[in-house]
Structures are given as structure tokens and as C-alpha cells.
Amino acid sequence: MLLTPPIRARVQYREEPEEMRQLLRSILELDADAAEMYESHIIMDGGIQNGVLGKFAIQLIMCLRDEVKRVTGNGEARPQRPRGR
């Protein structure tokens, strides 16, 4: 058993909405199939400027909302599983 979860990271910079959705689908599908807990980080280059969310950060958040709704059917995130299960 892993003591720390595997980490997956991806940098986003001015991607089109469909590219963001593909990444999010991949993460959500991996979560559904994973036997172990893992972490996924999306790093948004230029996502915040002077404390204000940028256009592409907002676009990513909207894509995330849509993909969570698609996967769960109601827009609510699944309850977090205990680590190692």
C-alpha cells in the first residue's frame, strides 16, 4: 500500500474549452477506476493576475462544473473515500 498518493500534474495555458474538458474527463474517469487514492493538480499559468481570476481560469472552472455534472448526474462531487481504499 502506498503511504502517499500518486500525484498527477498538468499545466494549462490558454487551452480551448474542449481541451480542458478532455483533461477533466481523464481525471474524473481515472478517479472512478482507481483502486487507490491519488491527487491531481492543474497548474494554470497566468490564472490569477493581481488577485483577479483570468479568462482561462474561469473557463476551466466552468468546464469542471459541467464535467462534474456529467459524471455525477447532479453536479455534486462524490464523497471523498478514505485513503487506501
Q: Are 45 and 13 in contact (CB under 8 A)?
A: yes
Q: For residue 85, name the pLDDT band (cuts at 50, 70, 90).
A: very low
Number of domains in the chain: 1
Is residue 32 domain-resident?
yes
∠12-26-79 over CA atoms, to 5°? 105
* Predicted structure pTM score: 0.71
Percentage of the chain with pLDDT > 90?
31
Is residue 56 domain-resident?
yes
Is residue 80 domain-resident?
no
The closest of 38, 49, 53 to 5, measured between CA atoms, is: 38
Is residue 84 domain-resident?
no
∠33-34-35 over CA atoms, to 5°? 120
Is residue 78 domain-resident?
no
Full domain range(s) for residue 34 = 7-72
Q: Are 75 and 69 in contact (CB under 8 A)?
A: yes
